Structure 1
Amino acid sequence: MQVLQVQLEVRPDPAEVGRARRWARSRLAGSGIEADEPLAETLILLVSELVTNAVVHTGCPAVLRIVLSGRPEAAPATVRLEVADRSECPPRPRHAEGDETNGRGLELVDGLADRWGWQPEGAGKQIWCEIDRGDAKVCGAVVGFEGMAYEAV
């Protein structure tokens, strides 16, 4: 099994959420998950929620990581998204009522991801979620990420 990890540093600015989505979309396409696939849209929504939470609730810089794991001759079997920030405060799932405009982020993550959680990381924490993809081929082609182990932006 091979693992590819890419990461993006995110400033504590709400405009960074859009940049994180664009960056994630390009990295997913480079791994064989095309933008028009339902999986890509789900992952981009999860990126948006996790990065928004980090930017809005901590006011600290954060790091978005995408971790793709699977066999080198196939598209990634599992996609893991991680957002690490410098805040020690654990995430607090909330439930939004009616017309409230906040409080749905972690409910969305819980509903869309196969797994999610958080853990301490350094002086802060990491919130993560995973989606299992299986051994599906992308558009009938076998794709992989052989030779690339890490990229930082």
Structure 2
Amino acid sequence: MQVLQVQLEVGPDPAEVGRARRWARSRLVGSGIRDDEPLAETLILLISELVTNAVVHTGCPAVLRMLFGAAETAGAAGTVRVEVADTSCRPPQQRHAAGEDTGGRGLELVDGLADRWGWQPEGAGKQIWCEVDRGAPVVQVQMQVGSHGAGVHEPSPAVVTHPA
């Protein structure tokens, strides 16, 4: 299988999140994912959440990677994998925000939008990753309260809407 990997170093400043989104959007277009596709919007939101978590909660630089996988079989659409590595060894903490809270929803969004996600140690820090299958139906998130440990997570139940 052929895989295209691109990466961006992100500084420990929350303003870097916008730069990461712009960079990712241009790489998505370069990989054949149109800017106006729901898949592009989903991936940009996932990238925004993971990069925000890395720079806000660790105060450390991070590395954003996107891997575009080729289809395993003819007719399959492949998978896009997003990875964000930072130098903090603290595992990610999924929080459950109350109604008026302005934060604490990042990993809940990742859980609802990604087909799979997880984390693993990388060097002196960790890597948080998520995958979206390119041929998967568009998902509208309904936040679920639940708990997940470290490792690999399948998405929480959500309403699935098939594209028109």
Q: Report the CA distance between 1:133 and its aligned residue.
A: 1.1
Find out whether 1:39 has 2:2 as its counterpart.
no
Mean alpha-carbon deviation: is it higher for 69-78 or for 102-111? 69-78
Q: Determine the structure 2 residue equivalent to 1:84.
A: 85
Q: Determine the structure 1 residue equivalent to 2:130.
A: 129
Q: 4+ runs of 1 displaced by more than 3 Å? A: 71-76
Q: Report the CA distance between 1:134 and its aligned residue.
A: 3.0
Q: Determine the structure 2 residue equivalent to 1:8.
A: 8
Distance 2:96 2:59 in 1: 22
Distance 2:101 2:16 in 1: 23
Q: Report the CA distance between 1:31 and its aligned residue.
A: 0.3
Output the TM-score relative to the length of structure 1. 0.84
Distance 2:24 2:131 in 1: 15
Q: Determine the structure 2 residue equivalent to 1:64.
A: 64
Distance 1:88 1:17 in 2: 21
RMSD, aligned α-carbons: 1.8
Instruction: Say which SS state the counterpart of residue 36 (structure 2) adopts.
Output: coil
Aligned 8 A contact 1:83 1:128 in 2:
yes
Shift in CA distance, 74/61, structure 1 to aligned 2, threshold 3 Å: farther
Distance 2:57 2:134 in 1: 30
One-letter code aligned to 1:43: L
Distance 1:102 1:27 in 2: 28
Deviation readout 1:97-145 (Å, 9 max, x if unpaired): 010011000000000000000000000000000001139xxxxxxxxxx
Counting only pairs closer than 5 Å after superposition, residues 12-27 of structure 1 correspond to structure 2 as 12-27=12-27
Distance 1:74 1:18 in 2: 34
Q: Determine the structure 2 residue equivalent to 1:114.
A: 115
Q: Which runs of 5+ in 2 are unaligned?
A: 137-164
Instruction: Say which SS state the counterpart of residue 120 (structure 2) adopts.
Output: strand
Q: Which runs of 5+ in 1 are unaligned?
A: 136-153
Output the TM-score relative to the length of structure 2. 0.79
Distance 1:78 1:121 in 2: 22
Report % sequence identity: 79
One-letter code aligned to 2:113: L
Q: Per chain length, whose mean CA-contact separation is higher, i.e. which structure has more relative contact order (CA < 8 Å, sep 6+)?
A: 1
Q: Determine the structure 2 residue equivalent to 1:99.
A: 100
Aligned 8 A contact 1:113 1:131 in 2:
yes
Shift in CA distance, 30/38, structure 1 to aligned 2, threshold 3 Å: same
One-letter code aligned to 2:78: A
Q: Report the CA distance between 1:25 and its aligned residue.
A: 0.2
